[in-house]
Amino acid sequence: MDGFERVNFDFSTDGGFAAVKQLEDILRSGHWSDSPLDYNDERTMLLLRLIRTGDIKVYKREYIQVTETPELWRRAEELNLFIRKRYEGGLLLDIANTFSGYEFDRSKTEFNSLFFPELKAYVRCGGLPPYRLFGLLEREGCEAVFLFPGDYYPYDESVYFAFTIAVPKELFLEELEKTNGRILEMMHEIANRIMEEDDSIIPSIDTWPKDK
pLDDT tens string 136-175 = 999 999 999 999 987 778 788 899 999 999 999 999 999 9
Closest CA relative to residue 114, chosen from 128, 100, 124: 124
In-domain check, residue 16: yes
Q: What is the DSSP string of 133-159?
A: HHHHHTSTT--EEEEE--TT--SS--E
* Structure-model confidence comparison of residues 115 and 73, the more confident one: 115
Question: Is residue 211 scored above 70 in pLDDT?
Answer: no
The rounded distance, in Å, linking the Cα atoms of 149 and 95 is 11
The predicted structure's pLDDT at residue 179: 86
The answer to whether 126 touches 149, Cβ cutoff 8 Å, is: yes
In-domain check, residue 47: yes
Tell me the angle at which helices 70-83 and 89-98 cross, rounded to the nearest 10 degrees.
Answer: 110
The predicted structure's pLDDT at residue 170: 94
- Count structural domains, the chain: 1
In-domain check, residue 203: no
In-domain check, residue 210: no
- pLDDT tens-digit readout, 21-62: 999 999 987 666 578 898 888 999 999 999 999 999 999 999
Mean pLDDT of 195-199: 62
The predicted structure's pLDDT at residue 162: 97
Q: In percent, how much of the chain has pLDDT > 90?
A: 48
Structural domain range at position 150 = 5-195
Closest CA relative to residue 161, chosen from 78, 83, 56, 82: 56
pTM of the predicted protein model? 0.83
In-domain check, residue 207: no
In-domain check, residue 211: no
The predicted structure's pLDDT at residue 190: 62
